[in-house]
Structure formats: C-alpha cells, structure tokens
A and B are shown apart, each in its own frame.
Chain A
Amino acid sequence: MATLDVTACSRWYGNVVAVNDVTMRIGPGITGLLGPNGAGKSTLINLLAGFLPPSAGAVTLDGVPVWKNQEAYRAIGLVPEREATFDYLTGREFVVASAELHGLPDPGAAAARAITTVAMADAQERKVGEYSKGMKQRIKMASALVHDPAVLLLDEPFNGMDPRQRLHLIALLRSMGDAGRTVLFSSHILEEVEQLANHVEVLVAGRHAASGDYREIRRLMTDRPHQYTIVSGDNRALAAALVADRSTAAVSLDGDTLRVEATEFLHFAELLPRVARDAGVRLYEVTPVDESLESVFSYLVQS
C-alpha cells in the first residue's frame, strides 16, 4: 500500500504557472488524472515521479519527498509519455536492462514475466526502434512493471493505441488496481477515465478543478448549461414555446438565429423537437455552441 501526497504544490517556469496550488492524495486503486491538453497533467506526473522539484509545496510518497530521492524508484514504476527509449535494444534487452538496474535477483525471469503481462512475448526479439506506437507503449509498461512497483504512474498511456490494445491495457490496469496498487494515469479523454478510474482528479489550467467519483464528475459535466444556436421557420414563436419549459435557462433573438441556453442536456434534447412540432415551427439548424472539451472543463473550474 502506497500513498502519494501532493500538498499545496505549485510549479512555475519563469512567468508561466504550470501547476497552481494543487493538493491531492492518491491512494491505492486507480485514479484518473483528467484535463485538457496543456492543463499541467504531465508536469504533475513529473512532480510525482521526482523529475521536477516543486516551486512551492511538497510531493511525498508515504511521507518521504520524491525529489532527489532515487530510492523512491524501488516503489515507483513510470510510463512516460515521450516515446524515446533505447531504440538500439530489442524489447527483451530493454526490459532486462530495466530489471538489472533495479538490482533484481533474476533479471531474465522478471523481464519475461513483465513482457508476458503486457503480451509482448511475440515481438520481444525485435528492436524497440521498429515498434509501433502502441507496442512502444507496452514495452515501456513492461519496463515500468518489471520490479513489481507499488505505485504506477502513466502519462497518457492510451495515446496511439488501437482499440484492442486499449482494452488490454484497461484490463491490465484494472487488475493492478484490484491488487491494491496505486495506479495514476492521465488522459484528456473523459470516456477513457470513465471506463477505468473509480476516482477522478480534474486539472484545468494548472488548477485542481474537481476531485471525486467519476459519476459525480460526469454529472457536473453533462448538467452544465448547454448553448445552442437554432435556425427555424419562426424563431420568435419557437422562443416563446421554449421559454415555458423549466430546462430553458435563457433565450435570445439575434437576427436570423435563435440562441438558447438549456440547463438539462437530456431533457432539452427531447424537448426541442416536440415543442417545435407542437408550435408548427420547422427546424432548419440546431448547433451546439460550446461542446469543446475546453469549455466543459472551464465550466468545471467556475463551478
């Protein structure tokens, strides 16, 4: 059992704040680190992995700081986002080297076990430089698992994986989480996090925006106000009909388009066509305005 603690931690580069006063505790089980690109997820993982000193605050593993503490790597397995490995080695040599550097008593056996775990036995004699992105991801995973670490940190592990590899990795991480390991992975895709993590930490623009059960976060995300622009046969009549319903927060007429802000996504999706038909108004265009991930996240920050 291992617990990572991030306490009032900030990290800035010159004038740019990458991680801003974040406090979180990552315990056994699977935690998903969710946030748009550039939110500071990689910076936070580098802080947790001891490759970056916090500018302020502390990052500890079971109470011991990880920065400048190479002994921490006995308990940490890191799967970095960057693809670069030692391309001149075969997959097996790469994992064996990792086992040797950890000082394991039988590096060959440990490497074979880790390679089997990530299902790379068939490709282990090929050069790492010739691997596809998904295969590199898996061999890095084997290298990180070789010493059976209590903590596994993965930076965007699903990038470049095909659906089959993705399912395999999900199953693998699940089994590690069930075994009581502390698994933290980052992603900018909500669905990935939702499938895997029971606990989610959301990072937006360096700030810790939300924390908790994924269902909770999912609800926060889908129940936010949704904006639509609508072009119809009679905008004014439609506006009047819509505003009568509780899920409509605001309507405004803007030339030929009607803008609507709805509070309950599912209810509104069902309401709009029904109201239009009852009012005898023909819908020509219905466009969601702010469905980008960034807008979803920035909504979370405000709430």
Chain B
Amino acid sequence: MNRTIVRLAARAILGGKRVWLLAALSLVLVAIGVGTAALGSGSSAASLEALQAIAFSTFLPLFGLIVGTGVIGPEIDDGSIVHLLAKPVSRHTIVQSKLAVAVAAILGFAVLPTMVAAVIMGADAATVLAFGVGALAAGAVYCVLFLLLSVVTRHAVIIGLVYALVWESLVGSVIPGARNVSVQQWALSVTASIAPDGVVTANVGVALAWFLIVAVVAVGTWYAGSRLRVLVLASDD
C-alpha cells in the first residue's frame, strides 16, 4: 500500500462526476428500503428477499464495475498511468492501493446503504450484519475482478457489463449448476451463514464460498499486479 497512490485514486474516483452517480445509486438502495417499509407489506421476510435480489444481483455487480474499472481504467485509456508507472514503485503496490480505494468506495456507497435499507425494513441485528458482510465480500470480489479486467483489456466495461447482467443476473438464477461459479451465490452463502435460519437461502456451502472469495481476491490481486508490470503503453506511431 502506498499512501500517495491511495490519495490519488480516491481523488480520481470521488472528485469527478462519478461520485454523483455512486451517491444516486446508493440513495436508490436506501429508497427501496424506505419504499418497502412504507408500503407496509407486513412481512419483513418478503422485503428482505426483495432487497437481497436487488442488492446482490444488480447493485453490487454494478458498483463493482463502476469503481473496480474506475480506479485504473480511465488512466490506462488516456495514458496518464505512465505518471504512476514511471516510478520505482512495485506494480503490486499500485494495484493493492487502488483496490483498497475501490473496496472502501463499495463499503461506503453499496454495503452501508444495503445495511441501512435492511434496518429500515425492520431486520434484526444479525440479519443486518449478515447483509453487510455478504455485500462486502461480493463487493471486494467484484472490485478485484473488474480491476483485473481493466488491466488486461481495453474493453473492460463492456465485458464487465455483460458479465454482470448476463452471468450474475440470469445464468446464476436459471442454471443451478452455474451457481458454484457465481460471486453472488458465494456472497449469499456467507450472508446465510450469519443471518438467522430461513432469512436467506444459499446454494453453495459456506466453507467453499469463503475459500473461493479469498482465493479470487488473493489470486486476482496478484495477477493484476503482474499484468500491470508488463502493461504495454500504446504509442501513436
């Protein structure tokens, strides 16, 4: 971790218009909580199921895509990354520092709003904590995956969007066998293990889920650093 890179990444991602998009999205998450509570469906379990569906299958992949690509993709696209790379700083340190900022952004803009929405829906403390831990785990994995994607390809946003919409939203819910390789299912498994019985159902064993989450974060972070080390800057001639 390098404080200068953390500071620069935080300003890059929070200084521009992106921060308003993120803030608007997190407001939507909270608003869903308020709306469900106000409509008074009565059943807290049903509302939580809706929150789970919206937060885990749509919002977290989307937030992960925005901040995971946002901390490094634009710099690679416009070439300003050269000002970071022309320094005697380990490429792994650069990746880890940028990742820390991305995960912190996910925490503030997606994980906390999810927890707030759960509180508004009248969930008990254990359930709120479960949603928080699960969302953070999913957010971290998405950040790593999308940051890695940005280093590997210029089309990270398109590929990431297709992945988030098609894979996480559709394939995982339609084809049961694909759930083992769905970040969303790993996170739900973590959530289910913390929440009281019956609130959330999971399809992946909790030990396997934690293993996969940790493995993807660790290997993905390391590999992104290795790829950044051999990043070829496009030149005009």
Contacts and interface: CB of A to CB of B under 8 A. Distances in A.
A102 B87 contact: yes
Interface string A86-130: 101100001001101111000000000000000000000000000
22 contacts: A18-B235, A18-B237, A40-B237, A42-B237, A43-B237, A68-B230, A70-B229, A78-B82, A82-B236, A84-B79, A85-B83, A86-B80, A88-B11, A88-B15, A89-B11, A97-B4, A97-B8, A98-B83, A100-B4, A101-B5, A101-B89, A140-B83
Given A49-B86, A73-B87, A82-B82, 9 more contacts: A51-B231, A74-B88, A82-B80, A84-B78, A84-B80, A86-B83, A88-B11, A102-B87, A143-B83
Contacts of B233: 46, 51-52
B99 to A, nearest CB: 17
Nearest to B4: A100
Nearest to B82: A80
Contacts of A71: 88
Contacts of B236: 42, 81-82
A88 B80 CA distance: 12
Contacts of A53: 230, 232
Report the interface size class on chain A. 35 or more
A58 interface: no
Contacts of B12: 86, 88
A7 interface: no
A208 interface: no
A204 to B, nearest CB: 12
A143 B87 CA distance: 11
B179 interface: no
Interface string A24-67: 00000000000001111111001001011100000000000000
Contacts of A39: 237
Interface string A268-293: 00000000000000000000000000
Contacts of B86: 49, 73, 76-78, 144
Interface in B66-82: 78-80, 82
Contact of A38 (B82, B88, B229, B237): B237
